A and B are shown apart, each in its own frame.
Chain A
Amino acid sequence: MTESLSLPDLVARIPDGAMLVVPPEYSGVAVAATRTLLRRGVRGLHVLAAPTSGIQTDMLIAAGCVATVEAAAITLGEFGTAPAFNAAVRAGTIRMLDSTCPAIHAALNAAEKGLPFIPLRGLIGSDVLRHRADWKVTQNPFADAPDPIVLLPALYPDIALFHAAAADREGNVWIGRRRELAVMAHAARRTLVTVERVLDTCFFDREELVAGALPALYVDAVAIAERGAWPLGLDEEYAPAAPALARYAAGTLFPQNQLAGAA
């Protein structure tokens, strides 16, 4: 049964050292929950961006909550580079597992299926592969001719955390076209979701909504957080807040000592 929790109680489910999978900036980022989490002083997180992240991961790094980042990119998009992330990588104070978007998707797909690993095309000749001791290149066992192919270990996150427009009374969550959120939830051991609102309805009663719903089966707990993605946007609910994102990118929200603390 999906639990209905307060925001502090929801983030209390994220222990120190957890592998936390989070979505890209356009896909429902639980920023309010992240703020609550870093105020609690969580430590040693392994943040897995599925497949990229921005202000959310940067805030966690700035607050000293992160041990490892695994991502295809950490970027503030049009607003520039992520200041705390950049400082931390240059100083070597976080462990960076550089990846590529399809590798993260595929490794989560493997976890959805309960598999130990998955093959993926491309990557051969890239230094991203060269620096990943946990990835292997093998011969395609079904080919007669030489055909090297990369094998990736599955990624089983401890917790998936994201923000969505609505949940229904059963705890089904409306994700619409953002199917990467479903992949995260399928792959993760636990899924925590913040929503703008809980509707007294059931998405499964309306056939046209079913394909855009994440079943409560995959949702451990829901908390209401109005404007919970701000200053990022949420599809059809609110646009990103450009001035706030520009202020963040300029580093003005984080005093130097905090950046230094992360570095």
Chain B
Amino acid sequence: MDAAVLIDAIARLIGDAGHVATGALSPIPMAAAMLARRRSGGRMRVTVLGSRRNNRFTDGAQELFDCAAQGRIDVFFLSGAQIDGEANINLLGLGDYARPKVRFSGSFGAPYLYMLVPRVILFRIEHDRRALVPRVDFISAPGWSEPHVYRPGGPVALVTGRCVFDWRRDERRFALRSVHPGETAASIRDATGFAYAEPDEVPTTPAPDAALRAEIRDLVRHEVTEVYPRFAEEFAI
């Protein structure tokens, strides 16, 4: 897994958003948001949960959620121990809810933010049939909702350690957008437990050159380390 490829790919997906926020346990999305902000010439607002440097909230932990409900956050990141082909995500546990085989930390703000932030980028490094499943064991947050349910938000893409998928809202399925260097359409099929659309020609996710890698390293060293010291220490690209 080449973290720089993921950071660059996510930064491209963020594009020219006005306000990007990152939540718990999100060092790579944070680095990507920092990169996207730099590319915007500093115009992009980035709010990093758990940061003091990159956080201009003054109304406590609830402010992120109030902001999201008001439409003041354009892009957010969510993950899942399991993600299925309908973009449902599971952050809670595996097996039976009452007596899980494996228990994770919990659903955090996902049941809310997934429905209210217009562009949610799903991110999960591990890409295998245990992570990308036909059906999640527990729906922390649903990938789509019935038309009468208030839902201005939802997924736009899924970035993994192997590829980028787009979410096709109208078709309620993912579509392969690009494979990271070293992967093929066939290797993605082998590693993915759910069905998705696949174009005839599958492009390769761009690999950052030396200058971009140096830029990312610099951002990790100076920004990400404040919130994710362990990630920054282990980071080598």
What is the interface of chain A, defined by CB distance below 8 A to chain B? 24, 26-27, 50-52, 71-75, 77-79, 81-82, 85-86, 89-92, 98-103, 105-106, 109, 120-129, 131, 145-149, 177-183, 211, 235, 242
Question: How near does chain B come to A62, taking the closest CB pair, in angstroms?
Answer: 15
Contacts of B145 in A (CB 8 A): 124-125
Contact yes or no, B60 A182, CB < 8 A: yes
Contacts of B230 in A (CB 8 A): 78-79, 242
Contact yes or no, B58 A101, CB < 8 A: no
Contact yes or no, A122 B115, CB < 8 A: yes
Contact yes or no, A125 B139, CB < 8 A: yes
Closest to A50 in B: B61
Contacts of A120 in B (CB 8 A): 112
Closest to A105 in B: B62
Contact yes or no, A147 B148, CB < 8 A: yes
Contacts of B91 in A (CB 8 A): 73
Contact yes or no, A75 B148, CB < 8 A: no
| Given A78-B229, A128-B140: A102 in contact with B100 (beta carbons within 8 A) | no
Contact yes or no, B139 A126, CB < 8 A: yes
With a 10 A CB-CB cut-off, give which of B60, B100, B104, B228 has the most chain A CB atoms. B60
Contact yes or no, A92 B98, CB < 8 A: yes
**Residue in A81, A121, A179, A183 whose CB lies within 8 Å of B116:** A121
Which residues between 121 and 158 of chain B lie within 8 Å of chain A, taking CB atoms?
138-142, 145-146, 148-150
| Given A92-B98, A105-B62, A121-B69: A74 in contact with B108 (beta carbons within 8 A) | no
Contact yes or no, B98 A179, CB < 8 A: no
Contacts of B25 in A (CB 8 A): 75, 77-78
Contact yes or no, A128 B107, CB < 8 A: yes
How far is A85 from B104 in the complex, measured between Cα atoms in Å?
Answer: 10
| Given A52-B24, A235-B52: A102 in contact with B107 (beta carbons within 8 A) | no
Closest to B23 in A: A101
| Given A98-B92, A101-B65, A177-B57: A73 in contact with B103 (beta carbons within 8 A) | no
Contacts of B98 in A (CB 8 A): 92
Contacts of B108 in A (CB 8 A): 51-52, 72-73, 100-101
| Given A73-B24, A127-B139: A103 in contact with B103 (beta carbons within 8 A) | no
**Residue in A26, A89, A129, A180 whose CB lies within 8 Å of B62:** A180
Closest to B57 in A: A177
| Given A78-B25, A98-B92: A183 in contact with B109 (beta carbons within 8 A) | no
The count of residues in chain B whose C-beta lies closer than 8 Å to any C-beta of chain A is: 50
Q: Could you give, for residues 158-189 of chain B, a 1 whenever the CB lies within 8 Å of some chain A CB and a 0 otherwise? A: 00000000000000000000000000000000
Contact yes or no, B112 A123, CB < 8 A: yes
Contact yes or no, A121 B150, CB < 8 A: yes
Contact yes or no, A126 B104, CB < 8 A: no
How far is A52 from B23 in the complex, measured between Cα atoms in Å?
Answer: 12
Contact yes or no, A102 B60, CB < 8 A: no
Question: How near does chain B come to A13, taking the closest CB pair, in angstroms?
Answer: 24
Contact yes or no, A122 B61, CB < 8 A: no
How far is A74 from B105 in the complex, measured between Cα atoms in Å?
Answer: 5
Question: How near does chain A come to B190, taking the closest CB pair, in angstroms?
Answer: 29
Contact yes or no, A109 B62, CB < 8 A: yes
Q: Is B59 an interface residue (CB 8 A)?
A: yes
Contact yes or no, A122 B107, CB < 8 A: no
How far is A124 from B110 in the complex, measured between Cα atoms in Å?
Answer: 12
How far is A9 from B100 in the complex, measured between Cα atoms in Å?
Answer: 39
Closest to A145 in B: B148
Closest to B141 in A: A126
Sample of 14 more A-B contacts, CB < 8 Å, known A71-B106, A73-B91, A125-B139: A27-B61, A51-B109, A73-B105, A73-B106, A74-B105, A75-B106, A100-B107, A103-B111, A127-B97, A127-B138, A128-B92, A148-B150, A179-B60, A242-B230
Contact yes or no, B106 A74, CB < 8 A: yes
Contacts of B208 in A (CB 8 A): none
